[in-house]
Amino acid sequence: MTMRNSVYVALSASICLTSGSATADLAGDYRLSMENQSGERQHLAQVEIRQAEQGYSYWIDWLEAPFENHFLSMRPFKCLPHPQRMICRLPYPYEIKRRITESDLTDLEYDLLFLHKVPGEYGINAWNGLYYVLKMSDRGLVGELHETDLNVLQAPPEDGGLRPIDPMEIHPASDTLWPRRILLEPMS
């Protein structure tokens, strides 16, 4: 059983892979996984990418099984259990265009926000934000773990300000945090 979280993103019509100058056709079915320091992967979602009028559109269908339901700081969260740090999905709560190009993957990064907390701690703190900086790879997309304060999301951005997270406030993550990467790879 899956929970359907349809996310629409229009991708650029011609996305070039970093491994060469060939243009990639990203249409297909993908697996969204997190990878830890040991290279072990946890499958989190299936992603359908389809050609659209001006590029690609895709939908993320998050799996129910890997997540536990938690009520933290007066709201529900879907969290991945872990003995040292629980990781909780933070769906981006405001309007974004959901468009990316080979040189701008920011909107998709906003759809992959997480918070971390120590199990047993009361509540959850947006200060403990996890942000995956995405880049193209020869197998899809790879997101490297960074940390940021997501308290900026507690209030709606100013009109026209669709990207309230300051890129200068996104920092490489501590080696103690997991998972280290998000991978979006073809299922076949």
| Best CA proximity match to 125, nearest among 71, 72, 178 | 72
Single pTM value for the model? 0.83
Distances in Å between the Cα of 80 and the Cα atoms of 29, 34, 90, 119, 164 are 23, 11, 12, 11, 26
| Domain-wise residue ranges, the chain | 10-186
What's the rounded Cα separation, in Å, for the pair 42 and 132?
16
More confident site: 110 or 54: 110
Residue 24: band (very low, low, confident or very high) from pLDDT cuts 50, 70, 90: low
pLDDT tens-digit series, residues 61-89: 999 999 999 999 888 999 998 888 899 99
Q: Which residue has the tokens 């929970």?
A: 3
Please determine, for residue 147, whether its predicted confidence score (pLDDT) is greater than 90.
yes
Residue 92: band (very low, low, confident or very high) from pLDDT cuts 50, 70, 90: very high
Least confident of 14-23, 95-104, 151-160: 14-23
Residue 116 makes CB contacts below 8 A (sequence gap 6+) with 85, 86, 87, 88, 128, 130, 177
